[in-house]
Amino acid sequence: MTPSASALRLDTAAQDLLFRQAHSTHAFTGEPVTDETVRAVYDLVKYGPTAFNQQPLRVVLIRSPEARRKLVGHMARGNREKTARAPLTAVLAGDRDFHTELPAQFPALPEAATRFYADPGVRERSALFNGGLQVAYFIMGIRAAGLAAGPMSGFDAAGINKEFFAEGAHFVLAVVNIGRPAEDVRHSRGPRLDFQQVFSTA
């Protein structure tokens, strides 16, 4: 165990499951991912914090061959085959109209929604950032379920939005393949920035 691993309260098996031994995955076994598992993931990660308790994340689970065929057509070339073969693929989107739910979701400050009505650009940024928080919690939840996630940003966003979110208030944030990893297919991990490259003190 490294000194930093033992300095944390989270046990090392959980550290490995969520972060240290987890990898973005490109090839999966054929084992299906059930709706029950996805519900269990959401029932955990829905508690992750966001600004004003806003919850812009929306998820489309791709179950039909027709929807998968359409989605694959909007993916970047390098993401097509793995998306065609994944046991489950989720299209994660942000809802620009999250502010209409704020009075119910953040009763502590009923006026929180008012700041979002005037400016669609503020809503867009908020849904992008807080949707990002929720995408990260969702990825952690997939790993918490003992599954592997293959999150992707290489796709034609306008095409996906037109195909799956034609009503206009939702916009794609990420596409995530989900399943049990095929054991022997794993890309090497890219380097991470050092502590002193990221942190400074004031």
Q: Which residues 181-200 are close enough to bind its own copies by CB under 8 A?
A: 187, 189-193, 195, 198-200
Q: Which residues of 11-21 are buried (b: 16+ CB within 10 A; e: fewer)?
A: eeeebebbeee
Contact 180, 147 (CB under 8 A): yes
**Closer residue to its own copies, CB minimum distance, 30 or 191:** 191
DSSP 163: H
Does residue 84 belong to the site contacting its own copies (CB under 8 A)?
Answer: no
**Closer residue to its own copies, CB minimum distance, 6 or 184:** 6
**Strands 57-62 and 148-152, bridge-based pairing:** unpaired
Q: Minimum distance from CB of 63 to its own copies (Å)?
A: 5
Does residue 158 belong to the site contacting its own copies (CB under 8 A)?
Answer: no
Q: Which residue in 41, 80, 84 sits closest to 62, CA to CA?
A: 84
Interface residue with its own copies among 30, 36, 167, 183 (CB under 8 A) is 36
Which residues in the 60-79 window bind its own copies by CB under 8 A?
A: 60-64, 67
